[in-house]
Amino acid sequence: MQWRRGLAIGVLSLAFLAGCETTGDKMAMKDKSLYDRLGGKPAITAVVDDFVARVGTDRRINRFFANTDLPPFKAKLVDQICEASGGPCKYTGKDMKAAHAGMGVSEADFNALVEDLVATLDKFKVPEKEKGELLGALGPMKKDIVTK
Ligand code: HEM
């Protein structure tokens, strides 16, 4: 009978360990910053690349970016999203009011840009929760960007 008891304890220990593992993972996910859940800087860089390319072909708004030097602009966007999502970066660009002053960005322009961002996030299969959190972090900037 001794071996049976040993086996039962073994099975129970395994089940316990597996339980810890699952709970541990869930805890870790819950405590992770949006930055980590998005996949860190490589994922944010990929998102910005795709998003900026999309904006560049979006005839509703690409005129705004006709003279933009893309590499430094993309680097600023990456830093901004990285910082806004709780990552280790520091955004050193202009504040949103100064950056968009005098451009005459309308609400329709703003919505078009958000639509392009959503298309990118969907392409990368960013889950609804993370997508909502990211858009929620950018939404409040609208009042400083839309001036028309
Ligand atoms: C939440 C939405 C937006 C965010 C987070 C955002 C972010 C930024 C950032 C970080 C910069 C760089 C600032 C700097 O150079 O220091 C910038 C510049 C700019 N943004 Fe936005 N922006 C948003 C919406 C828009 C919209 C709706 C438009 C027009 C449709 C727009 C057009 C521009 C243009 C033309 C520049 C200047 C790019 C250049 O350097 O040539 N932005 N934006």
Q: Best substitution site from 60, 70, 96, 100 to test ligand 1's pocket, by max atoms within 8 Å of Cβ?
A: 100
Listed residue (71, 88, 70) closest to 79, CA to CA: 88
Q: What is the CA radius of gyration of the chain?
A: 22
Q: Residues lining ligand 1, judged by CB closer than 6 Å?
A: 61, 64-65, 67-68, 73, 76-77, 80, 93-94, 99-100, 103, 105, 109-110, 113, 138, 141, 145
The pLDDT assigned to 2 comes to 56
Give the pLDDT confidence score for residue 49 in this predicted structure: 98
The pLDDT of residue 51: 98
Atom of ligand 1 lying closest to residue 91 CA? 10
How confident is the model at residue 26, as a pLDDT? 53
Q: What is the pLDDT of residue 25?
A: 53
- The one-digit pLDDT tens for each residue of the chain (148 residues) are 454 555 454 443 434 434 444 445 554 566 899 999 999 999 999 999 999 999 999 999 999 999 999 999 999 999 999 999 999 999 999 999 999 999 999 999 999 999 999 999 999 999 999 999 999 999 999 999 999 9
Tell me, in angstroms, the distance from the centre of ligand 1 to residue 105's CA.
10
Distance (angstroms) between ligand 1 centre and the Cα of 12 equals: 57
**pLDDT on residue 58:** 98
Taking the C-alpha atoms of residue 148 and residue 112, their distance in angstroms, rounded to an integer, is: 15
Backbone φ/ψ region at 54: left (φ over 0), alpha (ψ -120 to 50), beta: alpha
Tell how far the Cα of 37 is from the centroid of ligand 1, in angstroms: 25
In this structure, what DSSP letter does residue 105 have?
Answer: -
Q: Which residues contact 109 (CB under 8 A, 6 or more apart)?
A: 60, 61, 64, 146, 148
pTM, two decimal places: 0.84
* Residues composing the chain: 148
SS3 125: coil
DSSP string, 72-123: HHHHHHHHHHHHHTT-S----S--HHHHTTTS---HHHHHHHHHHHHHHHHH
Residues 52 and 50: their CA atoms lie apart, in Å, by 6
